[in-house]
Structure 1
Amino acid sequence: MLTPARLDQPVSEVPASVTVIDRELILASGARELYEVMRLVPGMSVAKADGNLPSVAYHGTQARDQRRMLVLVDGRSVYQPGFARVNWNAIPVALEDVERIEVTRGPASAAYGANAFTGVINIITRDPRDVDGQQTRVRAGNNGVLDSRVAAAHQFDNGAWRLSLNDRRDHGYDADLPPLDTGDAKRVTTLNGRSVWELNPRDTFTVHAGGSRTRLDRPNERGLEAIADYRDASQERAERAFLGLEWQRQVSPRHQFKVSLYGQYNNEDINLDLCYRDPITGTQGPGGGLYYSKELRDLYLANGGDIGQTLASAAADPAIQNRYATLQASGGGPFCGTGYLDVREERYDLELQDTLQLRPWARLVAGLNLRQDRAESQAFLSGTAENLSHRLFTSLALKPLPPVTVNLAGFWEHDDISGAHFSPRAGVNWEVLPGHTLRAVYARALRTPDIYEDQARINLPISGLSGPYGDRQGLLGWDPAYFFVTQRSPGTLDPERIRSRELGYYGRFAVGGLGGFELDVRYFQEELWDLVSGALNPFNFEPNNNGEVSHRGTEAQLSWRPSGRHLLRLTGAHIHTRATSATETRLAARDSAGALWLWRFRRDWWWSTGYYLARDYNDYPFERLDAQLGWRQRLAGAEWEWRLQVQQPLNSEPVVFAENEYQDDQRYWLTVTVNF
């Protein structure tokens, strides 16, 4: 196990509770998308709280902003630097490219720095030296499910490469159900490649590269619907690309050195095509231009950012009356234009890591990291902002006695936004009997404010104006013209903080001829404070550190392989959550559970079924039953694989929010894969 402490350790010796999802579990789950397999992790909240945008959070709190968990792909952070989020739709990795997923359950800033706040998900892709040949795949089902994949891998004298191109599309949920009145279709195309060169017996060089392109239909913004009519549906369009380089040297059998460098780019926007209603008459007309007038902006600022008071007093304001008369005299028709919620982000990261076996009973990993983040957005930042961070880390594993492992770790970092801070962790693992280990862990971690939280300056310009409205200066009082609502961050936010205490047990059992099973139990207490719990959108902007949350509970996971034909995975969590803000409890399920069973009932046939429960997400339970039938055969010199998957919700409750009334639809699809 590498992820928890950056050291290769047995699960029984790591300073954390860990969930490993391997290729067999992924196959058994029948999952179509990466985020879905996270339901196999105890304590993980997984839901589509906002249409076709998945929410994934360990010990979930806020439903739409999953900014407290680090997600890595081959060691590269996909946690977006400017706006503190993980877009699960756009991660450029298909499930077929994944070798395993290691989930560290608990604060891990001591190993990975700020933002490994509640845990770490490390997605490890397949080494091209372990695969060869070509693969094609087609998947089709209801709700417009239509996926395709082509992949190839090749091994050569001193290395190997693999490359895959994947396209995933569906109609989302049914249209005409608010908030999805205009539909919720999605299309995601991803490219993922990895090449490895064994330069000599000591040196290995690896290149990771890829990207994604996404297009999602987005629901109408309720705040805008109160003042305008949509003339075209909104879509979120995004492009992402990354390139990573890694050099590893085996200096000696007891000493390894690694240098990693990566860069990544993200560009996305959402179009808002609107015709604004006259605030005086309530109908479309030239008066709709008032929403983009300098006078209404001035009144908004004079009213301390109170939208309701601004609109209520607008008709009596002399300056606005004059602007209204100018617009009415323009002879123009409805005031229509396009706004864009634009985001561009870049990250460049350099890391050096040294691992040394100091003594037979002591191992040390230490390193340094330099990272530059850059975000650009006219809508959210009114320009460009950057953040440079420097980091030092170390982790020490000691075995003072053969059955005892002590793990000590610390991460020091300094960034332009939050200054210097330190995150420690200490853990003790005691193998009380062969195969049975008790674990005690104490950790502190933090999440630093992202660029948007620290430097937000919201200005929403309008474009695409025609006719007389092209004269923005003459008709609206300024050029460029901005929506009257604006927000600005005070730039004084402190890092969010967490303190965690954990007692755990890990055991491996052999039960005669019934095979063996693994059991992991975790009892934890977590206190989170200085949380940024308030809304941070253009209409409701409340940046402060007033939020507090406490979690206390128990989690368990059991894996049982009674034979080579059967696999059973059971997970469960019971968590008490208390918070000062209701927004911090919306994705916090008190009770959750999962069960997955794989049965290879014939040589080339298998059956799997899964059950998932969460009570509750924002007072609404989630409950679903999955079933899969699979078959492999040799045909025309190739291996063919057929899989039929059905997902059946067991209730018709909304998903997280009352307006998300789309859970009662059955999903099914057929997947055909050819390996040759």
Structure 2
Amino acid sequence: MAKTPPLVHLISALSLLVPPLVMAEDLFGLDQPLPEILSATRLKQSPAAVPGSVSVIDRALIEASGARDIPELMRLVPGMMVGYVKGNEITVNYHGGQVGTARRMQVLIDGRSVYRPGLATVDWVDLPLAIEDIERIEVFRGPNTVSYGANALTGVISITTRSPANNHGTRLKYTHGQRGIDDWYGSQAFSSGNGDFRLSLSGQQDSGFDRTDIEDSYRDSRRSTRMHFSATHALDDSQTLDWQLVAKEGSNQKNFYSNEEALVRDVVPVGDTNKDIKARDYSASMRWSLDTSSAHNLQVQAYAQRWERVQEWRTCDLALSFTPEVSALQQLDPKLLDSVARLLRQRKAIPLSAGPLAFAIGENFYKNGGALQAAVCGDINNNINETRYDLELQDTLSLSDDLRLLSGMSYRKDTADSQTYFQGGLQNEVWRVFGHLEWHLSEHFVLQGGSMFETDTLSGDSLTSRIALNYLITPRHGIRFVYSEAVRSPDMQENNVNWSYLIENLNPNLNGRDSAYYYATAQGPGNLQQEIMRSREIGYNGQFDFGLQIDIKLFNEEIHRLIAEPLDITEFVQNNDNYMWFRGAETEIDWAFTASDRLRLTYAYVDFETSEKSYRRLTARYSGSAGYLRDWGDGWSSSLFYYGADLLNQRRFERADLRIAKRFNFGKSDLELALMMQQRLDDEALTWRENLYDQRRMVSVSAQLEF
């Protein structure tokens, strides 16, 4: 006799629950309109029918949080780890990983990826977007390469900006506070003909951390100026056209030299420690949407963007650092070179037992008449320009009342141009074909499947898939069972880097040359394979008529062929030899229990294991948040938030945020004055031991005028 498939047993078992659902529908109610999730599968779906966990941060929550940055909003998402490398270097990782970079999560602004192609990072402090322009953020918590391609390995943050059609008028805002906070914002939205337009200009500035753990002052301030112009046109009853122009200019302070810059730092001038990064971003995007019928939609999206990073400084080192022997030893044994440097710094001889190459370096250093001990200074840079062109076609078709099909294809071209990182330019082309099928088997069962085929000229081909079964107790309450596979392509820096520093304008010259390559070099292996994630999830999502929303997730995630070695030019050893897995549970509760009161709670427990020891410190096992928002009437409102994580990079984090606001009405104008206070409840440095503030409390005030 043929064996019955396990899926049939599961459906049969769950169907036994159907009779009691008549009473369940009466209890839960179906009168309120269902909220919609827009970005999880690219289809509009009710939260209970989504094949995964999604956190929604709406406009009210954004304003009540008082956050100045998107990473701070991510503290409201269960399982998100927000880390600070410096005051102007922030990372966001879902469930953890490397704190210095966030390479495994896709970030979209109105469908446009801001994941940099060359160095494969998201510059959170340099995003060309003011938080005042954000309408909504959806965070898909889990792998989603079937919808958004490789690099959506652990999740997708989809940011939607405010529509010009719904925000006519003028808004002006100014924020000032401790730690050098000095932000401003202005926007004007209007209609003309068949279009609505909004122009917003904004600026952001702060001074970063106050000091390091050895009481040195910290040069990690940031400053940015942004322009965002958006337009939407109703071409006719069935067609819309949206387009945007975005620009950003700013600078981020840097002043700490890296190990590769001085072999014997104590006996040579440091040079110019001003390594500030000048950042400029530009983008243009367009989206055309056509409804050929009530059951069919066609959408075309195209965008172009460019990232420019200029980081130039003057450095000094010993002439010894430019010798072939030092370069050869660095390639052969970087750790031995560090030992040699320590001995030379202490003016000690190199023992013959260290090896002939190390011994020869010491002999040359002491017996060359002082020539190799002379300081040589020159100009060096980390400049890089990255560009991306993306064209995508998406088709949404309702085959019947119970069956919907989304399909599409896209082409993307990425370019990275850097003499330091790639000895010139490097290109990559990516073709994608994707699809998602949603089938309502009955009133209570939804079966979904999706896949994406991707061909990458630098990384090869990949095929990822997802299958999910949602059991709808009612349309507002569902239990989900999800299995998905995802990949992350090795980025250009990991796999294809040709990293070396050409120091120019040398003073004094080296043997008549005014330029020379530094001893440290790194070469990408060129044959890295894609990382693979396999994820299993069981969850529940419920939307109650009395304002309560609950999401619960149990998960098991495994990442194989993990590329985890540090991207360090002095010891560049990238491979697929590592792994990492996560198991745990998350919950999110959002309850508007009166028209004036809203409570939001999140909690995450993450158990994990990894073969890369540096990753073991970068996941908080317990983390969460709690927030209470209240409208007191007569223009008064307040919000109180708590954020906590037990250990992130071996440091506890606890903070309470309070915001009190008063709104005044002057006819057609509104003025809001707000006080924001953050109070650290722990006495730890933030993520890294160097990141210290003089005071645990920070206060800022803001004034916003709308007319």
TM range (shorter): over 0.9
Give the Cα–Cα distance (whole angstroms) in 2 for the partners of residues 256 and 589 of structure 1: 43
- What is the one-letter code of the residue matched to 1:164? S
Cα 1:134/1:434, change in 2 over 3 Å: closer
Structure 2 CA distance, aligned partners of 1:435 and 1:246?
Answer: 31
Q: Which residue of 2 aligns with 1:492?
A: 527
Q: Which amino acid aligns with 2:298?
A: F
- Letter of the aligned partner of 2:520 in structure 1? V
368-377 or 214-223, which deviates more: 214-223
Matches within 5 A, 1:18-167: 18-167=54-203
Pick which of 45-54 and 145-154 moved more.
45-54
Distance 1:5 1:176, change over 3 A: closer
1:251, CA displacement in angstroms?
Answer: 0.9
Q: Percent identity?
A: 33
Structural mapping, 1:267-286, within 5 Å: 267-276=308-317
Q: Given the alignment, which residue of 444, 447, 450 partners 2:488?
A: 447
Q: Quick one: distance in 2 between partners of 1:384 and 1:611?
A: 46
- Structure 1 CA distance, aligned partners of 2:119 and 2:273? 26
> Contact 1:629/1:643 (CA < 8 Å) preserved in 2?
yes
Structure 2: which amino acid aligns with 1:147?
Answer: D
Q: What's the CA shift for 1:236?
A: 1.6
Q: Which amino acid aligns with 1:316?
A: A
**In structure 2, do the counterparts of structure 1 residues 322 and 645 end up closer, same or farther at CA, with 3 Å as the change threshold?**
closer
Distance 1:318 1:634 in 2: 77
Query: How far off is 1:457 after superposition?
Result: 1.0
| CA–CA separation in structure 1 for the residues paired with 2:294 and 2:363 | 78
Which residue of 2 is the match for residue 507 of structure 1?
542
TM-score w.r.t. length of structure 1: 0.92
Q: Which of these residues, 290, 303, 308, is aligned with residue 338 of structure 2?
A: 308
Shift of residue 89, structure 1, vs aligned partner: 0.6
Give the distance between the partners of 2:365 and 2:216, measured in 1 at CA.
37
Indicate whether 1:243 and 2:284 are aligned.
yes
| Equivalent in 211, 233, 240 of residue 274 of structure 2 | 233
Q: Distance in 2 between matches of 1:358 and 1:178?
A: 66
170-179 or 23-32: bigger deviation: 170-179
Match of 1:363 among 388, 392, 404: 404
2:335 matches 1:291: no
1:321–1:28 CA distance, 2 compared to 1 (3 A): closer
- 406, 411, 414: which is aligned to 1:373? 414
Mapped pair 1:387 → 2:422 = no
- In the alignment, what sits opposite 1:609? 640
Shift in Å, 1:383:
1.4
- Report the counterpart of residue 516 of structure 2 in structure 1: 481
1:586 shift after superposition: 2.7
Q: Which residue of 1 aligns with 2:45?
A: 9
- Displacement of 1:326 in angstroms is 9.1
Deviation of residue 465 (structure 1)?
Answer: 2.9
In 2: Cα distance, 1:305 partner to 1:382 partner? 26
2:505–2:515 Cα contact (<8 Å) kept:
no
Distance in 1, matches of 2:585 and 2:311, equals: 41
| 1:280 alignment counterpart | none
Partner of 1:667 in structure 2? 698
Give unmatched runs, 5+ long, in structure 1.
Answer: 277-287
Shift of 1:659: 3.0
List runs of 5+ in structure 2 lacking aligned partners. 1-36, 342-349, 351-356
TM-score by length of 2: 0.88
Measured against aligned partners, the alpha-carbon deviations of 1:199-231 in whole angstroms (never above 9, x if no partner) come to 121221111210222211124034136525143
Q: Mean alpha-carbon deviation: is it higher for 359-368 or for 173-182?
A: 173-182
- Counterpart for residue 626 of structure 1: 657
Contact 1:446 1:495 in 2 (8 A): yes
What's 1:337 paired with?
378
SS in 1 for 2:191: strand
1:437 corresponds to which letter in structure 2?
G
Pick closer, same or farther for the CA change 1:570–1:582 going to 2, 3 Å.
same
Partner of 2:421, secondary structure, is helix
Partner of 2:587: 556
Secondary structure at 1:659 match in 2 = coil
CA distance in 1, matches of 2:77, 2:398: 32
Q: Which moved more, 1:634-643 or 1:408-417?
A: 634-643
**Separation (CA, whole Å) in 2 of partners of 1:179 and 1:82:** 35
**1:247-282, CA deviations, whole angstroms, 9 ceiling, x for partnerless residues?**
111111110001111111011133343232xxxxxx
Residue matched to 1:648? 679
Give 1:79's aligned amino acid. Answer: Y
> Any conservation in 1 of the 2:583–2:607 contact (CA below 8 Å)?
yes
170-179 or 601-610: bigger deviation: 170-179
Cα 1:572/1:303, change in 2 over 3 Å: closer
Q: How many Å separate the matches in 1 of 2:426 and 2:367? A: 34
> In the alignment, is the contact (CA less than 8 A) between 2:211 and 2:691 conserved in 1?
no
**Other-structure match for 2:387:** 346
Change (3 A) 1:663 1:113: farther
